[in-house]
Amino acid sequence: MGIAFFTLLVLVVQYELSYDAFHQSADRTYRVVEIIDTQDIGERSASVPIGLGPTLKTLYPNYIDQSVRFFNHQAYSHVISISDKKYNENHLYFTDDDFFKVFNFPLMEGDKETALSEPGAVVITKELAKKYFGEKSALGKKILYEKKHYLKVTGVIDKDNCPSHLDFEILVSFSTLLITNRELFYKEDWVWNPCWTYITLKEDVQPEELEADFEILLQDPTKFPEYLRDYVELYLQPIQEIHLYSDLDFEMSPNGDYMYIYIFSAIAIMVLLIAAINFMNLSSVRYSTRVREVGIRKAIGANQTELINQFIVEASILSILSMFGAIVFLELLFTFVQDFLSNSGFVLRDADPQNLFLLVGLSGLFVGALSSFYPLFYLSGFKPLEGLHDTSPKGYQQKRFRKWSVITQFIISMFLLFSTYVAKRQLDFMKDSDIGFKPENIVMIPMGEVRFQSNNFERLKDKFASLPNVESVTGMDEVLGVWVQNYPYTFIKNDKKLPSAFFASIVTYPEVFNVFDFQVLAQNQRNANDIPSREIWVNEKFIHFMGFETPEEALDLKVYTYYGYQKISGVLKDFHYEPIHKPIEPFIIDVNNKYRLLNSFSNKFLALKIKKGSNWNILEKQLELKWTQVVEYRIMDTFFLKDKIEDTFKKEEQLAKVSLIFSIIGVIIANMGLFGLSSFITVRKNKEIAIRKALGMENFQAMIFVSKEFFVLVGSACLVAWPTAYLAMKLWLDNFPKAVNIDIGAYIFSGGLTLLMTMLTVSYHVVKTGIKNPVEDLKAGV
């Protein structure tokens, strides 16, 4: 069981470590990332301006072999139609024709050389090919993109054995953007940075050499605007490190975390160690019953080497048997664990048999070697008489050894339980934390390309707002509470223009204050006839950032907008505009009162506040009806803001789950060993208890007497497990901006549960000993 669980965890870890390692030039491939740092705020962006990739390739031909961009209009989803069926696809990217030169995703159909070279070419994954065309070949088939552009399938990719942070399902040739004329529109924009851009360096080029030369590009007056130039830095990020180490703004998809690899590896090793100790313990008990046999063998002339050989053969047979057991167990568990991990971000891939056998073999060998080591040398080193008389002082050594091994198991399982408790508490704490507004009953509707179509946005908004169960509707450029954009703003303080800085912000409409229940700390008064075109609201962190003491002081601050200078409209109490994992920074709510249509690029989402207690199934149908009255070609997507926020806890949730399951497994394995030990200890105590009973000890006193020994074992384990687990969890909690205190509950949970399990495990032997008739044991010899 231990070997099986160890193998499963190692498979998960192996998979995590293998991300993007399959590309032929993986060690030379880097993602270009952009850090904008203005007065300690700004963004650390995983994506860069559209023009950067080709510019780099032209500017540094001696360093760079290939460059590939991914671009998705920063849209939540895109509409793909196949005859009368419509799909909203979340993983569609436009990409350069060098894609297959940099990335080695295998093509099941199509030609890598030409697949993405023509405008209108599209490559899809085999899953999508099946979804769109069933079992028929997808090659050459047409799909309709956003109602008006036909794309031709030029390739089908099999991503099955290609763990990658690139989470595409549809790749459209970048040159397709020429048809839609969008690239012409975007390419000279060096502020907007929507392109994930990868380069492959030439064989002997070090990334530092290129990074050092970026300065030439950064100071080019035709590229980054002057106000940004001094604050931008470009870096190269090794592609193989992205999945585990990158946590930038605007990642293509949520990444993994190296911390979890450490945690999983530690859990795997602990589970294996518990199993090994158990095996060692049980085999030492088994061998101790053979002391006499060893004595006889030695008396008739066996030497130590012969005995060691005998034990090695026996231990090997046992290990091999346990390996077979582990493989059977693995087979049984595999699908269960796969299901358990699905949607968690962690993957348990079907392992190739070679890898599986290697893992099981190595761990089995480790368990076998460790478990036979002690008994082997202990028994083979016996003097024959000691064996024959069976009263050697080594019996005490063995007893002590067994106790220590059980204490070690307790330490490990208690450590796991302690960690589980703290992880769960931290998770609950984050989930229950007041994020500064109530996300319940807020429904988000992604607009897709619909946002660009004349007054659709206004019409939809009004139609939705007319429904009785909809309280209010607003639009916004991103999903407040989950992810937001950064935009440059210029403030004027004491008549002095401050340098432009990139602030986290949301572009929205006045109804945002009806949909979200923000707490207003200060507000500029204005009369009804003088509503500004655009209002800038800020948070508390912002006023501290600007050096003000009170929210009211900040109301005199002016901001420069496209529409001229205007005062800050108001100050809001801090709230989590992004997941609680991230600290709150200065934040701006950019409210547009007029010119909605001009700002249609920001209308990516509609946010609806629905009435509490309204029937969602009915309401969804009503919304759909309204939606189809305005938009024909796109299906309405919806999600609850609360769910999206909870999704951000997936990793922590999974960690809590995984550590709970493995702690339980650890405890079960440890208790299996304890069961054996308890039989050993109680048998040893039988005689003493019989004597004590003859002297007047009662049954329950006998039970307490036997249990005492196990209390001591658990107690000793606590002394080591608690401080170690405390330090480890403190280290983990330091990663969070807000963390729980490790309270008494962690100690009670880990200690109490271990004690309870121990008592349940030993109770059989304790009760048996407690109620046993003492006569039997009194008869036994000295």
Residues pairing with 473 in the sheet: 608
Could you tell me the smallest distance in angstroms from the CB atom of residue 389 to another protein?
14
> Please, which of residues 649-688 interact with another protein by CB under 8 A?
687-688
* Most distant CA atoms of the chain, gap in Å: 112
Of 84, 434, 496, 779, the one binding another protein (CB under 8 A) is 779
| Conformational region of residue 302, where left means phi above 0, alpha means psi within -120 to 50, and beta covers everything else | beta
Nearest residue (CB) to another protein, 556 versus 776: 776
Is the separation of the CB atoms in 46 and 196 below 8 Å? yes
Residues 770 and 704: their CA atoms lie apart, in Å, by 9
Q: Binding to another protein by residue 396, rule CB under 8 A?
A: no
Residue in 254, 235, 256, 232 with CA at minimum distance from that of residue 244: 256
Q: What is the DSSP letter of 48?
A: B
Is the separation of the CB atoms in 189 and 155 below 8 Å? no
Residues 146 and 208: their CA atoms lie apart, in Å, by 42
Nearest residue (CB) to another protein, 257 versus 777: 777
Nearest residue (CB) to another protein, 531 versus 775: 775
Which two tokens mark 360? 């099981």
Nearest residue (CB) to another protein, 694 versus 719: 694
Q: Binding to another protein by residue 781, rule CB under 8 A?
A: yes
Site string for another protein, 340-379 (x = CB under 8 A): ----------------------------------------
**b/e per residue, 147-163, with b = 16+ CB within 10 A?**
eeeebebbbbbebeebb
Nearest residue (CB) to another protein, 460 versus 697: 697
Could you tell me the smallest distance in angstroms from the CB atom of residue 286 to another protein?
25
Nearest residue (CB) to another protein, 528 versus 695: 695
> Please, which of residues 748-777 interact with another protein by CB under 8 A?
771, 773-775
Could you tell me the smallest distance in angstroms from the CB atom of residue 768 to another protein?
14
Could you tell me the smallest distance in angstroms from the CB atom of residue 287 to another protein?
24
Could you tell me the smallest distance in angstroms from the CB atom of residue 771 to another protein?
8
Residues 479 and 253: their CA atoms lie apart, in Å, by 15
Q: Binding to another protein by residue 390, rule CB under 8 A?
A: no
E strand spans, 211-292: 232-238
Nearest residue (CB) to another protein, 220 versus 776: 776
Nearest residue (CB) to another protein, 221 versus 781: 781
The CA distances from residue 701 to 551, 714, 769, 777, in Å, are 69, 20, 11, 17
Could you tell me the smallest distance in angstroms from the CB atom of residue 779 to another protein?
7
Residues pairing with 609 in the sheet: 442, 472
Nearest residue (CB) to another protein, 598 versus 771: 771
Nearest residue (CB) to another protein, 262 versus 700: 700
Could you tell me the smallest distance in angstroms from the CB atom of residue 775 to another protein?
5
Which two tokens mark 732? 């983990």
Could you tell me the smallest distance in angstroms from the CB atom of residue 345 to another protein?
55
> Please, which of residues 499-538 interact with another protein by CB under 8 A?
none
Could you tell me the smallest distance in angstroms from the CB atom of residue 778 to another protein?
6
**From the CB of residue 474, how many other CB atoms can be counted at a distance below 10 Å?**
23
Could you tell me the smallest distance in angstroms from the CB atom of residue 5 to another protein?
39
> Please, which of residues 687-706 interact with another protein by CB under 8 A?
687-688, 690-701
Nearest residue (CB) to another protein, 300 versus 695: 695
What is the Rg, in whole angstroms, of the alpha carbon atoms belonging to the chain? 33
Is the separation of the CB atoms in 581 and 736 below 8 Å? yes
Could you tell me the smallest distance in angstroms from the CB atom of residue 284 to another protein?
22
Give the side-chain half-sphere CA count within 13 A for 142: 7
Residue in 273, 280, 268 with CA at minimum distance from that of residue 368: 280
Nearest residue (CB) to another protein, 85 versus 708: 708
Q: What is the DSSP letter of 76?
A: S
Q: What's CA 59's distance to the chain center, in Å?
A: 38
Q: What is the DSSP letter of 23?
A: S
Nearest residue (CB) to another protein, 202 versus 403: 403
Could you tell me the smallest distance in angstroms from the CB atom of residue 313 to another protein?
35
Nearest residue (CB) to another protein, 313 versus 694: 694
Helix (H, G, I), strand (E, B) or coil at 121: strand
Could you tell me the smallest distance in angstroms from the CB atom of residue 422 to another protein?
40
**From the CB of residue 62, how many other CB atoms can be counted at a distance below 10 Å?**
10
Which helix (H) or strand (E) element contains residue 183? helix 182-186
Residue in 483, 473, 484, 482 with CA at minimum distance from that of residue 443: 473
Could you tell me the smallest distance in angstroms from the CB atom of residue 684 to another protein?
11
Among positive and negative, which fits the CA dihedral 294, 299, 304, 309? Answer: negative
**Amino acid, single-letter form, for residue 85:** K
Could you tell me the smallest distance in angstroms from the CB atom of residue 3 to another protein?
39
Q: What are phi and psi of 781, to 5 degrees?
A: -65, -170
Which two tokens mark 165? 């942070």
Q: What angle do CA 604, 608, 612 make, to 5 degrees?
A: 160
Nearest residue (CB) to another protein, 443 versus 689: 689
Could you tell me the smallest distance in angstroms from the CB atom of residue 292 to another protein?
21
| Number of residues near another protein (by CB under 8 A) | 22
Q: Which residue has the tokens 């919806």?
A: 638
Nearest residue (CB) to another protein, 527 versus 773: 773
Could you tell me the smallest distance in angstroms from the CB atom of residue 755 to another protein?
24
Is the separation of the CB atoms in 444 and 638 below 8 Å? yes
Could you tell me the smallest distance in angstroms from the CB atom of residue 289 to another protein?
21
Nearest residue (CB) to another protein, 698 versus 743: 698
Q: What are phi and psi of 250, to 5 degrees?
A: 60, 45
Residues 436 and 266: their CA atoms lie apart, in Å, by 36
Residues 537 and 522: their CA atoms lie apart, in Å, by 10
Nearest residue (CB) to another protein, 13 versus 690: 690
Residues 230 and 178: their CA atoms lie apart, in Å, by 32
Question: Residue 29 burial by CB count (10 A; 0-12/13-18/19+): exposed, middle or buried?
Answer: buried
- The residue length of the chain stands at 782
Residues 492 and 554: their CA atoms lie apart, in Å, by 11
Judged by the rule CB under 8 A, the positions of this chain that interact with another protein are 687-688, 690-701, 771, 773-775, 778-779, 781-782
